[in-house]
């Protein structure tokens, strides 16, 4: 994140429920609108990238380390859906689910 960028964690009941950040300058210059990104937990980001490519996926951002939080990549599946794969290190991801107001609500 640059000096004019912000990353914010949203919490519910004291636990991380989501996060948001500012668009990067290259995204803004290309007219990219604000968007949501889903992260899928994997055991090995590099292996997930290889498997995605083998199954027709396109790698939009190859595997890279996010400081000591984890390792990720951005993938586009054959239908066009974009998502990230996330290999946790010090950040496992959301800390609350199955509660109204969280990513995964109970039914």
**In the prediction, which pLDDT does 93 show?**
86
- The tens digit of pLDDT for each residue in 68-107 reads 999 999 999 999 999 999 999 999 888 888 888 787 666 5
**Rounded CA gap, 87 and 63, in Å?**
10
Q: What is the pLDDT of residue 106?
A: 63
Domain spanning 7-88, CATH class: alpha beta
Q: Read off the pLDDT of each residue in 43-60 and give the average, rounded to a whole number.
A: 98
CB under 8 A, 24+ apart: contacts of 7-13:
12/96, 12/99, 12/101, 12/102, 13/96, 13/99
Short-list 45, 1, 58, CA closest to 25? 1
- Phi, psi angles (nearest 5°) of residue 30: -95, 5
Per residue in 18-30, pLDDT (tens digit) is 889 999 888 999 9
Is the model's pTM score more than 0.75?
yes
């Amino acid at each position: 994140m640059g000096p004019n960028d912000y990353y914010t964690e949203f919490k519910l009941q004291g636990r991380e429920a989501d996060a948001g950040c500012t668009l990067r300058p290259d995204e803004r210059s290309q007219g990219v609108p604000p968007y949501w990104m889903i992260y899928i937990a994997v055991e090995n980001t590099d292996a997930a990238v290889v498997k995605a490519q083998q199954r027709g996926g396109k790698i939009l951002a190859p595997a890279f380390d996010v400081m000591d939080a984890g390792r990720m990549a951005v993938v586009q599946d054959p239908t066009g859906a974009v998502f990230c794969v996330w290999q946790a290190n010090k950040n496992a991801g959301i800390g609350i689910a199955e509660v109204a107001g969280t990513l995964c609500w109970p039914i």
